[in-house]
Chain A
């Protein structure tokens, strides 16, 4: 099932409307974090390190609706924390659907089967299931054995009930491009609508401080993964953002493109960095020193970032900023195989086993034998 035409039309007309109105800074996706607590403790995540009294806080549905209306973005992504742990998540989703927002509920899916009756299938609601690769890679990334099987089981159930389902994958150093490609095959076979992927951001509070990809390695890894693409693969991302990851395009960061609202307020400057909070969206836009952020600013906290929350909005903006940008997007959509002999060679390069758990489990060789990637 492809992205509904109504969603593409809503987003395209929204962006064009912003451009015609002459707005330089407009939000594309609201990142709505209704809570920070989670039922996983992933090594690469810097989102859950808070005192218990902060982890116990929830945004109320009314807080969520106010933020959505203040921001005005056509799409709302609900990460966290684990949003299915929110006691009123059903009400929040129902209210956002009523407001005709396209919602991506980001979940590790451990609770999805248990909570699925809280939701009704809708073109406005997509479960974006966090899967960081094939079974062993995912379980290692989320530090939870059996996590992959639970998530895949939940994906099947959601699809069976007629929900829109995508996957979202974060890659760190040590990811095996061949295994990632095999994972894409598995997800397409499963029947998900599309896949999202991104390099991990180097959260300074994450437990694992050793496996964040630098920009040079990110480009090489994504070139190996995304070149010579199979026609069966569908990505829920701008083709220009994928070209950015592959090193074919460069963009400045658009930190206001995916603004974040959570229990502290409107986060400055972006989804990943916390440099203070504003009480209103307008205040956040007006009081953030935007020139201090983005790789091009020289800010060390932004040095290695190539993450979707900063750069997908840049890619979408490029599509609608010029005829050449629009044509590049059309080309990337229609001709998405990206044949590349060097990328094939990169795929054959041995992957340095920097992921110690993969060494322990011998997952790399087994997963490749199983899939024949």
Chain B
């Protein structure tokens, strides 16, 4: 069971996302285009923020090269761990911090820090059989509204320490 957070900090429960339901935004869709993309930046009063995709729990289909490349681009942008299963059956779970896309899948690599290692690992796109957004999205559920809600709750409860602290490192 995966707990999902939306940008307002509310939660819902879902089993596993396919990526195509529950508010998922395709990167190629007009919704994914930043709202100020066609505006003169010098005229902007407030810079529109980013609406986040909810990717936690997503297991993308990797039937075509384009799907694989698109999914790895999202994995690079994702602030949680992902699981990569290689075609030889081995699996690596960790944080994707880099991707280097080239003309062929063989020459393209994704680089990650495995969860339990200090050694960076590079995996060729051509080796990848499956991908899952298995780790918690650490950027989700921390909207301004969520922070305001927590603040108001603490204040209403008469707490003296009206502060938000970083999450403990599990």
Contacts and interface: CB of A to CB of B under 8 A. Distances in A.
Contacts of B37: 300, 303
A288 interface: no
Given A208-B147, A209-B49, A300 B113 contact: no
A215 B118 contact: no
Consensus secondary structure, chain B interface: loop
B151 A215 contact: no
Contacts of A56: 169
Interface string B91-126: 000110111100000000001010110100000000
Given A205-B139, A276-B98, A277-B97, A48 B166 contact: yes
B16 interface: no
Contacts, number: 145
B42 interface: yes
A209 B7 contact: yes
A207 B7 CA distance: 9
A216 B43 contact: yes
Interface stretch (A33-41, A64-72, A232-240, A335-343): A33-41
A318 interface: no
B163 interface: yes
Contact of A303 (B36, B95, B139, B146): B36
A48 B42 CA distance: 29
A123 to B, nearest CB: 34
A216 B169 contact: no
A40 B163 CA distance: 9
B80 interface: yes
A212 B47 contact: yes
A276 B95 contact: no
Consensus secondary structure, chain A interface: loop
The number of chain B residues touching the other chain, given as a range, is: 35 or more
Nearest to B7: A209
Contacts of A216: 42-45
A49 to B, nearest CB: 4
B147 A303 contact: no
B81 A51 contact: yes
Contacts of B144: 43, 207-211
B8 to A, nearest CB: 11
A39 B50 CA distance: 25
B47 A303 contact: yes
Nearest to A82: B166
A277 B96 CA distance: 11
Contacts of B42: 215-216, 295
A53 interface: yes
B41 A295 contact: yes
Interface of A: 37-41, 43, 46, 48-57, 143-147, 173, 202, 204-205, 207-217, 264-265, 274, 276-277, 295, 300-301, 303-304, 356-357, 360
22 contacts: A37-B166, A39-B166, A40-B166, A41-B165, A50-B138, A53-B94, A53-B113, A57-B118, A144-B164, A173-B46, A202-B50, A209-B143, A212-B46, A214-B36, A215-B41, A216-B44, A276-B98, A276-B100, A295-B41, A295-B42, A304-B44, A304-B47
Interface of B: 7, 33-34, 36-37, 39, 41-52, 76, 79-81, 94-95, 97-100, 111, 113, 115-116, 118, 135-136, 138-139, 142-144, 146-148, 151-152, 155, 161-167, 169-170
The 5 closest A-B pairs by CB, nearest first: A209-B49, A214-B44, A304-B47, A204-B50, A207-B142
